[in-house]
Structures are given as structure tokens and as C-alpha cells.
Chains A and B, each alone.
Chain A
Amino acid sequence: MTMSDLDYSAQVLTRHKRRSTRRIVRDGVLLVVMMLVAVVMLYPFYFMINTSFKSNDQFLNGGGHSFASWAKLNANLPWARELLNSTIVCFSAIALILIVSTMAGFAFAKLHYRVQTFVFLGIVAALLIPMQSIIIPAFVNLSRVHLLTSYWGAVLLYAALGTPFATFLMTAYFRGLPDDVIEAGIIDGLSYGSIFRRIALPMAVPAIVTIVVLQFIQIWDDLLVGLLFLQNTDQRTITVGLGVLASGRTADFPVLMAGSLVSALPAIIVFLIFQRFLINGLTAGIGK
């Protein structure tokens, strides 16, 4: 018995076509709904972009577009400096978080000392501490140590705030690492430190990227800590700068929108680049 093109008979064609039509209709309806949702979600972006390209006059009194507000941005907001500050703070804090949480995560997952469970619980319990609860004492502490006039105060605090979650994620991730890889390392004569650096860390890249992305967004977009702990105006982050601009009610709104776009862009870019990792990381984390 052999196959021939006669197999693809008229009846098959009709049935296939009928099924595809049904599928197209169904897909079409779903697409329309999804587009509507997209409009709702994207509206603020549209609003921001649209408004930023108006002068204040045009904004208040009806249409037109211009570059006026963008030009004004420089005068109202030292955005370049503040972007730099945001970047410095973000990277420093994230670096600290990563160093600390990867070590801790590896220790909790693979090394087994009795004390560890308590230490682990202690760190994770800190997840419950809302920043508002500690902000005042922390403010006092850090001002006493004169850390409020440098980046360090904010960086340390951001790091401390991000460490519980990061440690939790790293521990969960390292737990999933097969023990035999580590045992192979031991047999090969490596110390735990080397095993950590050369075997565990490279394998933990997805979790690390997840933490970087999440923390980046959180720290970049944070207002409260930045407001209180970076008292020096030329150490201000972009988000705080925007916040200050926004709360002065006489603000030039289109300029505010322009500034918002500038502030939002880096976070968006980081997100777009790393979104796949983020989704994988979330799946791994919640699934247990």
C-alpha cells in the first residue's frame, strides 16, 4: 500500500477549511479584545509621549505639538546628573545584593550547619518588614554615622531591603542544583569557595538575571528612600527629581511628562531585554 496525493481529497479540504475558518473567527475576536486591553494598558504611555511634545501653552489651551517642553527640561530638571546618580545607586546596590545573596543562598542550600535554619528564617522574615516601619530609626542611625551625605546610606538601605527576597530566590534556585555536580567538584579537589565561583554561580545565571531586573526596577523607581537618604541635591536620583518636580503644583506639566519619559526609559529597556529570564525565574520560584 502506498500513499498518494489522492489522500488529500475534497472532503479533507472542506473539513480543513471549515476548521480554519472557525479558528480565524475565534482568533479574531480574541485579538480584538486583547487590543482593547492593550489600549488601556498603554494609554499612559501615549499620554506621556503626546503631552511631552506640547508646550505648556498648547497643553493648557488645546492642541498642537512642539519641542518647547523638551527644551525646557534641561532648565527644570538636571536630568543628566540625576540619571547618572540613579545608575550609580542602582548598580552599587544591586552588586551588593548579588554578592550577599548568592553567597547566602549557596550556603543555605548546599552547606549544612545547624545554625543555618535560624539565620535563613531571620533573613526571610525580614521580607515582612515594610520600609516605612524602619525608615525613621534607619534615618537616625545613618545620619549619626554621617552616611546621609554620600551615596552609601541609600545604597546600603536599598541593599538591605532587597536582600531578603534575593536570598530567598537564590536559596530556592540553588536547592534545585543537583548535588552530584558539587560532589564532582569536591572530588576534583576544589574548595567550596571555588565550587561556588566556578560551578554554582554560572549555573545560577537565570536567577541572578531575575533579581537584577526586579531590583533594578524597584530601586530605580523608588521615591521614599531616595527622598530621605540622598539629601544632597546633586546626588539625587531621577525619580526623586521627578517627584519633587511633580509635587510643586505650579509645575509645567508637559515638562514633567518629558522628564517622566526620560526616567522611565532605562527601566523599560532593561525590562525588554531581560523579560524572558524574568518569566522563567518567576515560574521556577512560585511553582514550588
Chain B
Amino acid sequence: MSIPAFALVAFLLGIPIFQAVYYSFTDWNGITATWIGPSTYWTEFKDPQFWRVLENNLLLLLAIPFAILIPMAIAFLLNERVPGWRFFRTVYFLPTAISWVVIGSVALRFFAADGSLNHILASFGLGFIKTDMLSSEYQALAAVAITFVWSMIGTNTIIFLTGMATLDPSLAEAARVDGASVPQIFVHITLPQLKRFIQFAVIMTLISAFTALFSLIFVMTEGGPGFGTTTLEFFVYQTAFSHSLFGTGAMLGIILFVIMAVIGLAQVRLLRSRD
């Protein structure tokens, strides 16, 4: 009964991975593939563009704590169950339903030199801070990062909120009697119990950061300016389809896969050891 699932995955995902490994060792322009061998990897590692791209990925990692802390705070607010909280919960989760393409388009206008961000700043009297984030490399990455965090807020808030709902209220009461103040209860009692949920959110956010931003970047900056917002996943697409270097593209894909595999295994190891 499990054969169809296995077959589907094996043929469409499993085999391509092995193929990708093969192709990563070749010089392939889509029609002919000439075997080169491991030197394809070495050449890539010597390419400064490659490291620039990896640097972008690393910088993106810096955004992850924000994508965790902000939703945690919002979930805490929602958990107070002020009348109408369900409405807000829906509202906060709504951005999850819109595609990255749409988000990217809006973000593009938002961060543009004549865009909404500057308008808003001006209306607060901060008009002197005129930004043109999308035309400077690192700032563009920051713009992408901000948009990314914004879009993860909905998902992660829901995750933390469901986590908080599973907590035993008598624990908080016992802590009150034991003399803990509200922040102390949060730190010593609530947070440790949310560990599973936090782990889940971190993994999801990490995976998204590395594999789900293609559409966003495509629409917002196309990887630019220069290599400013080219993350590894975008680089795969660019190398293969824009430059017809399918072999290199495959190799980059493999590198990405290895990184994800390492993260995934690390998480499994973490989970197992804490229990």
C-alpha cells in the first residue's frame, strides 16, 4: 500500500538527485554532457561569486532570530485571549496565503526609492532618511530579509500559539504560588515547555530561508543588484537557466542539498538527545 507513494517520490525526487550528482561532475549545456570529474567542485570553490552567494545565505541566517522572537511575542499577546483575539489570529495568518510573487511585487514598490517606505517616513517627519535599499547590495538583502521575516510571522505565530494552548495551566499557578513573577514564569516555565515548538519553527524558518525565497527574489530583485540578493537557491536557477551551465547548476543544487541534509540530521540528533 505504500508502494505508490514510494514510487512517486523515488522516480521524481530520488532518481533526479542521483542524476544531479552525476551531472554535477560534468560540463553540461543541456544537450551534451562531458565528464569532468571532481574538478567541477574545485573550480566552483575557487569562484569568488560562489562565496559571495554563500555569504548572502549566512547573512540571511541573521534574520532568523527575528522570525522567531517577534512571533513569540505576538503569540504571547494572543494567548491572553482578549476578546476578539481569534479575529487577530486570522488576520496575522492571512499573509501566509498569498504567494511570494505577490509579496515580492508589493515589497518591490515598498522599498523602492520612490516607494511607500519613504512616503511613510516622510509623513512621520523623517523625510531626511531617504532610502534606496534596492540599489545597494547589502541593503537589498536586508529588504529581502525584512520581507521574509514579515511573511514568516503568520506561520510561526500560529505554531507558538498552538504550543501555548497545550500547556497545563496548573503549572503556571504552581509557579505563582512558588513566588515567580510574570516574566519569570515565562522564562522558567512557559519557554522550556515550548521547546519542541520552537525547534519546529526554527527548522521550518531555516528551510524556508534556504529554499523558498526563489519567487520572492525573482520578482523583487532578480538576484541583484550585482550578487547582492543572490542566495544559493537563486544561484542554481541563474547558473543553469540563464547561463546554460546545467552541470554547474546541478552541482550547486547538490551543495544545497547537502547543506539541508546536514541541518536536517542535526535537528534529528538534537531532538533525540534532549529526550
Contact = CB atoms under 8 A, between A and B. Distances in A.
Direct contact of A and B (CB under 8 A): yes
B8 A137 contact: no
Given A133-B256, A286-B197, A128 B6 contact: no
Contact of A41 (B110, B154, B233): B154
Contact of B196 (A48, A106, A286): A286
B140 interface: no
A12 interface: no
Nearest to B207: A130
Contacts of A243: 101, 215, 218-219
Contacts of A177: none
A135 B74 CA distance: 37
B88 interface: yes
Contact of A222 (B104, B215, B233): B215
A264 B101 CA distance: 10
A186 interface: no
B192 interface: no
Contacts of A287: 166, 196
Contacts of B23: 136-137
A84 interface: no
Contact of A136 (B20, B77, B109, B210): B20
Interface string B197-226: 100100000010011001100110010000
A27 B77 CA distance: 10
A130 B257 CA distance: 6
A14 B163 CA distance: 37
A107 interface: yes
A287 B200 CA distance: 10
A10 interface: no
B2 A161 contact: no
A205 interface: no
Contact of B218 (A247, A267, A268): A247
A103 B2 CA distance: 6
B11 interface: yes
A246 B165 CA distance: 41
Contact of B93 (A133, A228, A260, A271): A271
Interface string B73-84: 010011010111
Contacts of A137: 15-17, 19-20, 23, 250
B97 A263 contact: no
Interface residues on B, range: 35 or more
A239 interface: yes
B62 interface: no
B95 to A, nearest CB: 6
B126 interface: no
Given A123-B9, A128-B257, A264 B162 contact: no
B5 to A, nearest CB: 4
Interface string B150-175: 10011000110011011000000000
Interface string A88-124: 0000000010011101101110010000100110110
A268 B94 CA distance: 7
Interface string B11-36: 11111110110010000001000000
Given A47-B106, A132-B256, A138 B100 contact: no
A100 B6 CA distance: 9
B116 interface: yes
A134 B116 contact: no
B111 interface: no
A75 interface: no
Interface in B100-153: 100-110, 116, 150, 153
Nearest to A27: B82
Given A127-B264, A130-B211, A283-B162, A268 B98 contact: yes
A184 interface: no
Contact of B12 (A42, A138, A228, A268): A138
Nearest to A115: B2
A106 B100 CA distance: 34
A103 B1 contact: yes
Contacts of B6: 104, 119, 122-123
A42 B165 CA distance: 25
8 contacts: A34-B82, A44-B95, A130-B233, A133-B17, A223-B218, A242-B101, A260-B105, A264-B97
Interface of A: 27, 30-31, 33-34, 37-38, 40-42, 44-45, 47-48, 51, 96, 99-101, 103-104, 106-108, 111, 116, 119-120, 122-123, 126-138, 140-141, 156-157, 159-161, 163-164, 167, 192, 196, 217, 220-224, 228, 239, 242-243, 246-247, 253, 256-257, 260, 263-264, 267-268, 270-272, 275, 278-279, 282-283, 286-287
Given A132-B236, A242-B101, A286-B197, 20 more contacts: A27-B83, A31-B82, A37-B74, A41-B92, A42-B91, A44-B95, A100-B4, A100-B5, A104-B5, A104-B6, A131-B211, A135-B240, A136-B20, A136-B253, A156-B8, A159-B8, A159-B12, A192-B1, A223-B218, A263-B101
Give the 4 A-B CB pairs with smallest separation, nearest first.
A221-B99, A160-B12, A104-B5, A137-B19
